[in-house]
Amino acid sequence: MNIIKAIPTNIITGALGAGKTTLIKQLLASKPSNERWAVLVNEFGEIGIDGAMMQNAAKNDDKPQDIFIREVPGGCMCCTSGLPMNIALNQLLMRAKPHRLFIEPTGLGHPKEVIETLLSEHYQHVIKLQSTLCLVDARKTSNTRWCQHPTFKEQFEVADAIIMTKSALYTEQSVTDLENYLTEIGCDETPVKEILEDNIDLSILQNASKVSIKPITPQKLIQPTNKQPQQEISPLAPENENIDSIIRKQNAQDGFYSRGWIWPSNHIFDYSAVVNLIKSFEIIRLKALLITNKGIFSFNGEGEDESISVQEYDEAYDSRLEIIVDSEDVANQIAIEIETLVTDD
């Protein structure tokens, strides 16, 4: 019987759209062939898209069984006394028995609470916390929506290294704004790095974490039951009504609102209509993995970018789309527009 012990663990944190999932996919592609790696990914939205994208990327690996992914959707996984995180992490570790673990909190989550959980008595012999990486789009540090948000600041405070992403879109002022912000919050001594695609140095993962946070008092782990949590019902999906087998979910927290959909595989999207519509949205974050008349594609974008990143995939069991905005009215209006996209083929 293999004992799970001292698993090297990295937290990959950063704001919505900072590139956390992209970095993890790049890291997975660089995994040593003789190791098993595991990823615990947490999303603000309720439907889960990042996990599906990572699973798809893992299938392109020579040994996809050596990559294990577990997803915790629906907001910060440390909320409700840490129960969602404890259950998901325990299941993932028992299944994968990994040589390395990555934890990706939602960009609106609480990384200090994640670290507190990992330092608790329950995990102190199981987890060996190594470098916590904070990914940042430097342009966000001049945006009051982000730089004044407590979670945004907390992400830098727990970081062992700060990783600049999307640097091709920066101006000189962007880097200056980041430097000034780090000085303002007392994080100017934290190393700042830039990682380019296809140039991943795994040594950035291996330093011991220097974060010192008092561990939380361990609590007895509550066993899951068959009782389902109460689900928020979207105005577009009346209670007890399953329209065309489409799953619709929503979430709200700290002034942010998500709307998400899962469509069965027989729902085919018009590729051109999708691109034209999502480019017209004023959103904070949009992610999608859709089956279209031109193939299967992921769509990834945020309000600060002028374009939507599109990537082709080999397969998908269903289609998923999620948006995050900072207005409930805007969320509902976008939801109405998205409902017009599907054309059965």
Secondary structure in 3-state letters for 179-245: HHHHHHCCCCCCCEEECCCCCCCHHHHCCECCCCCCCCCCCCCCCCCCCCCCCCCCCCCCCCCCHHH
User: Which segment, 242-246, 261-265, 276-280, is predicted with the most confidence on average?
Assistant: 261-265
Residue 154, pLDDT score: 92
Residue 64, pLDDT score: 52
Best CA proximity match to 297, nearest among 277, 280, 279, 272: 272
Count of residues in the chain: 345
The structural architecture, per CATH, of the domain 243-344 is: 2-Layer Sandwich (3.30)
Could you tell me which residue, 184 or 76, shows the higher pLDDT?
Answer: 184
d(CA 307, CA 335): 20
Using the predicted structure, report yes or no on whether residue 257 has a pLDDT greater than 50. yes
d(CA 110, CA 92): 21
What percent of the chain shows pLDDT beyond 70?
Answer: 79
CA distances from 230 to 46, 212, 227, 239, 255 (A): 13, 36, 9, 11, 21
The residues, any chain, with a CB within 8 Å of residue 113's CB and separated by 6 or more, are: 76, 78, 82, 216
**Which residue ranges does the chain devote to CATH 3.40.50.300?**
7-205
Token representation of residue 96: 């994968």
Residue 305, pLDDT score: 58
CA distances from 328 to 209, 254, 331 (A): 39, 12, 5
Residue 156, pLDDT score: 94
Q: Are 322 and 53 in contact (CB under 8 A)?
A: no
- Residue-wise pLDDT for 215-224, tens only, equals 444 443 333 3
Best CA proximity match to 287, nearest among 271, 298, 272: 298
**Which residue ranges does the chain devote to CATH 3.30.1220.10?**
243-344
Domain 7-205 has CATH 3.40.50.300: yes
Using only the alpha carbons of the chain, give its radius of gyration. 20
Query: pLDDT-derived band of residue 228, with 50, 70 and 90 as boundaries?
Result: very low
Query: pLDDT-derived band of residue 58, with 50, 70 and 90 as boundaries?
Result: low
Using the predicted structure, report yes or no on whether residue 120 has a pLDDT greater than 50. yes
Residue 267: in which H helix or E strand, if any? strand 267-269
Could you tell me which residue, 330 or 44, shows the higher pLDDT?
Answer: 330
Q: What mean pLDDT is reported for the chain?
A: 81
Using the predicted structure, report yes or no on whether residue 168 has a pLDDT greater than 90. no
d(CA 59, CA 296): 15
Q: Are 71 and 38 in contact (CB under 8 A)?
A: no
- pTM, full prediction: 0.79
Using the predicted structure, report yes or no on whether residue 104 has a pLDDT greater than 70. yes
Using the predicted structure, report yes or no on whether residue 197 has a pLDDT greater than 70. no
Q: Are 211 and 127 in contact (CB under 8 A)?
A: no
